[in-house]
Structure formats: structure tokens, C-alpha cells
Amino acid sequence: MPRMNNDSEAVIAVNRFGLGARGSELTAAARDPRQWLTKQMVSPSYVASRFTTVAAFQQFSEYRQRVRDQRKAPAQNESSNMQDKGPSGAGTAPAKVIRQTQRALIFDGLWQSIMSAEPFSMRMLDFFSNHFSVSMTSIQLNVLAPLLELDAVAPHLFGQFEDMLIAVIKHPAMLVYLDNTQSTGPASRVGKKRQRGLNENLAREILELHTLGIDGGYSLGDIRELARALSGWSISRPRDKAQKGFVYRRDMHEPGARTLLGIPYRDGEVEQGEQMLRDLARHPATGRFVCHKLAQHLVSDMPDEGLVDAMSAQWQQTNGNLGAVIRVLIAHDASWREERQKFKTPREFVISTLRALEIQEASPPRFLRQLHRHLRDMGQAPFGSGSPAGYPISNRHWDGADALMKRIDWANTVVAVSAQSNKSALEISSRLFSTQLDGATRQAMERAETDRQARALLFLSPDFQRR
């Protein structure tokens, strides 16, 4: 296949693999579109200063203590509870603090993507954050969930998959979300004394969703063996002063040698589970599963088989080096077909629109400070998929009628509140598509009543909705 000119490839690099051009990104990409992508393969330079996992634990402990105090207090009569807002009660600071933290963390994540000079890297972060999906299903998870992406996913984005896997599984958000914190080996000290047992949720989802995939050829016995190896992988208790976060509890760990997928593992402590995760990460079925999903995320719901084959082969050769696998994807011609096969998700749509408008970080209007609410309205609340499988990747989940109406309303509002942008609609369109813009879109924009309407039409055009 003849190589396209750099202009076409740059449009693809910026829109398909990035998050739409911000500023003069397209010009930069046009010099060498593929290199423009590989240069972004660094862990996102996230400003994580606002919050840490340790602080999250602190906040949650305070909150819980407060709730306990309230419950223990003698029952007051009904009328004194008039301002009651659930267990948080009136004026309970910790719950409010947690809500503020939660909002700030979500907002930060979105603004990072909007401002990023490495949009491709942010797309990869979105992918793996969703691959290891945790949802804000409890007050504790409201603050822990965003930290998983920050602490465990981002640092390993272009490194070995096994390192990311282990960091994710040890992260408190995952251990809490998939119920591993209380999982106890029946033959462990605690298991024998208190008749407690295993919880297989985490082990099952690791095999089904994180590594081998549902058709990856594992048995119920494998789930149990992995669950036994992971028993005792827990989190610190609020009163633990020395340690915050992941804690390995020996007295809950099932002793003994294990067998996973036919491979024997010696009796061991935390290393036993770590070794299993390492082997799972390197497994060819895992490579195939993750590569296929990655190609679906970036290129097409039905990705080219040759592309997935090449990526999977690289996975095996490098024991799952994500950077090497992604380089194969970038180098492959199937990734650069002109047809736009992916319908943007709400998140991609919203972020790429705001990038195109060159929204500035300093004091965004009220409308934009509520981005997380808008994404919820569009069905893709951050950390809100409600499923360990994360949000679906395929187009059909995002291109429904109500979804389109919401995009129209949102776009119509955002072009109004961002009126201070000094670029005209046509200028914005050439920064996104150079000369590749569809004739119908150009015509619609030129005929628009106002430039504001022209911008709305641009963002709602098939060119911009698909990538």
C-alpha cells in the first residue's frame, strides 16, 4: 500500500490516536505523524499533588469514626434529625470533604486530558484505566477509585504489563472493589479460628477481564487456586498507623503449594500470588486478548487480523512490553486506513471539543466545572461504569438516539459559553482536519447563521463524531 502523504496521516494521528488537535498540534504531527505518536510514549506527567492514597485512607478513617460516634450516640427523637442527610448527618465535615476530594480528582483527570501535550498517552491511560475498571460504589471507593489510575496504571503505561497488573491488583481500590480484603484461606490461622473463607471475585475477574479473557481456557479450579494465592492481600485498617494502603496478612493467607493453568507454584507468601500474576501477564492468551481490545479501542470494532497478530507476536517476544506492542500498532498500515471506523465515546467527544476550543485551565466557566456531571448525563461518568468490565468499547453502545441528542445539546451550550475563543469555526476546522474536511461539513459551516452555530455544526459533523 502506498504511504499516504503526511497531511492525511497527521489528521489521523491527531484525531484517531490523539484527542483532537489543541493549538497547532496538527502542524507538529505533519512533520512525521508516526514519530509524533511514539514521542508521546511516556507516562502522563500527572500533577498528583492534590491527593495521595495515604490521604485518602486518612479521610476515610475520619469519616468512619464520625459515623460510628453518631450511631453509638443514644437515639434522639425524630425531630432532631430533621436535617438528616443519611449517615453523614447534618454538617458532618468528613463526608463533605470526601465529596469535594472526589469532585476535585475527577475534574483534575479530565483537565489533564484537555490540556495535555501528550494526548496519545492520555488515550492509553483511558484504555487501561477502563480495562482495570473500578467504580465509585461506596464512600471509600469515591476517593480511592481515581487513585488507581494515578498510582498503578500511569507509571506502567508503556512498560511491562505484568508490572501494571501487579500494581493494580495490589491497589486498595481494586482490593476493596472486588472484595478481596476479607478473603481468607480456610486453612489459614484466621480461617480456622473464625470459620472464614475465600472470596473468589477478584481472582475470577483477573482471569476473565484483566488477563486471559473469558475464552482464555481456564477452569473453575484455576479461579480457586488464584483466589487461594491472593488470600491475605488486603488493606490497612483505619487504626493502622504505620502502614497505609496495601497490606499482606499472613494469618489470612492459605498455606500450601498451588497449581494454576497446570503450572506448579511452591508454598509461599505474597510472592506466590505475584508470580502467578507475572505468568498470567505473559501468557499468549492474555497478549491476544489485550492486543485485540487495544486495537478495538484505537482503530476499529473489528480490527484487522494481521494487526492483532503482529501485536500479539510482539507481546510474546517481549513478555508483554506495552511500549513495544504499541509501536507495532503505530507501524502497521491497517492502523492508518482512511475510513473513520470509530464513533467517539462521550469522553473522547467532550475532551476533543474542549481541546479544539482551546479552553484554558484558569477559572473555567461554571458549565465546564460540571464536566463530570455532563459525562454522567451522556452515560460515561468517570469511574461510574458500575461493572468490573468497564465501559463497552464498541460503537453501538455510544451511538444511540438519546446519546446524539445529548451531544447536540451539550455542543450547542459549550459553543455559547466558550464564546471568548478568538478562532473562527473555519480556522478551528483547519487546525483539526487541514484540507481533509468533508465538503458537506464545510458547506454547512459556511452557510451557518453565526460563527457560534458553525462551531456547533463542526463538532456535531460526521467528521468530528468519528475518528
Partner 1 sequence: MNRRQWLAAVGSSLVCWHSRGAALSNQKTPKLVWLVLRGAMDGLHAVLPLADSDLLRHREKLVTAVQERAHRLDRGFALHPALPTLAKLYRQKELLTIVATSSGATTRSHFRAQDILESGYNRADNESGWLNRAVEAKRGQSLAVAHGVPISLRGRHLTQTWYPDHFVESKGDLFERLQSLYSEDDLLSQRLMSGLQTRDKLSVIDQVNRRNRFAQLASSCGTLMRAEDGPDCAMLQLEGWDTHQGQVRRLQTKFSELDAGIVSLRTALRNEWDNTVVIVATEFGRTVAANGTLGTDHGTGSALFLLGGAVAGGRVLGEWPGLKKSELFMGRDLAPTSDNRSWIGAVLKQHWQLTDQQLNNVFPEVPPAPERIIKSDLMRDTTVLG
Q: Please give the residue ranges that form the binding site for partner 1 (CB under 8 A).
A: 70-76, 78, 81-82, 84, 86-87, 137-138, 179, 370, 373-374, 376-381, 384-389, 396-397, 399-406, 408-410, 412-413, 416, 440-441, 444, 447-449, 453, 456-457, 460-462, 465
- Distance of alpha carbon 226 from alpha carbon 278, whole angstroms: 12
Minimum Å distance from CB 244 to partner 1? 23
Minimum Å distance from CB 411 to partner 1? 8
Output 286 or 461, the one with its CB closest to partner 1. Answer: 461
Please give the C-alpha separations between residue 408 and each of 9, 378, 416, 456, in angstroms, as whole numbers: 28, 11, 13, 8
Minimum Å distance from CB 157 to partner 1? 26
Minimum Å distance from CB 147 to partner 1? 19
Instruction: Please name which of 114, 156, 109 lies closest in space to residue 132, comparing C-alpha atoms.
Output: 156
Q: Each residue of 250-279: b (16+ CB within 10 Å) or e?
A: eebbbbeebebbeeebeebebebbbbbbbb
Q: Which residues contact 249 (CB under 8 A, 6 or more apart)?
A: 190, 232, 234
Instruction: Please name which of 220, 225, 230 lies closest in space to residue 273, comparing C-alpha atoms.
Output: 230
Output 105 or 403, the one with its CB closest to partner 1. Answer: 403
Output 93 or 408, the one with its CB closest to partner 1. Answer: 408
- Distance of alpha carbon 10 from alpha carbon 92, whole angstroms: 52
Minimum Å distance from CB 371 to partner 1? 11
Output 112 or 135, the one with its CB closest to partner 1. Answer: 135
Minimum Å distance from CB 284 to partner 1? 24
* Sign of the alpha-carbon torsion through 175, 217, 288, 392: negative
Minimum Å distance from CB 137 to partner 1? 5
Output 65 or 138, the one with its CB closest to partner 1. Answer: 138
- Distance of alpha carbon 447 from alpha carbon 324, whole angstroms: 47
Output 331 or 405, the one with its CB closest to partner 1. Answer: 405
Find cell 461539513 and name the residue: 441
Minimum Å distance from CB 374 to partner 1? 7
Output 124 or 457, the one with its CB closest to partner 1. Answer: 457
Number of H helices, E strands in the chain: 24, 4
- Distance of alpha carbon 342 from alpha carbon 346, whole angstroms: 12
- Distance of alpha carbon 50 from alpha carbon 105, whole angstroms: 8
Minimum Å distance from CB 92 to partner 1? 12
Q: Each residue of 185-201: b (16+ CB within 10 Å) or e?
A: beebebbeeeebebbbb
Output 365 or 400, the one with its CB closest to partner 1. Answer: 400
Please give the C-alpha separations between residue 27 and each of 21, 33, 427, in angstroms, as whole numbers: 10, 10, 13
Instruction: Please name which of 298, 366, 369 lies closest in space to residue 110, comparing C-alpha atoms.
Output: 369
Output 281 or 356, the one with its CB closest to partner 1. Answer: 356
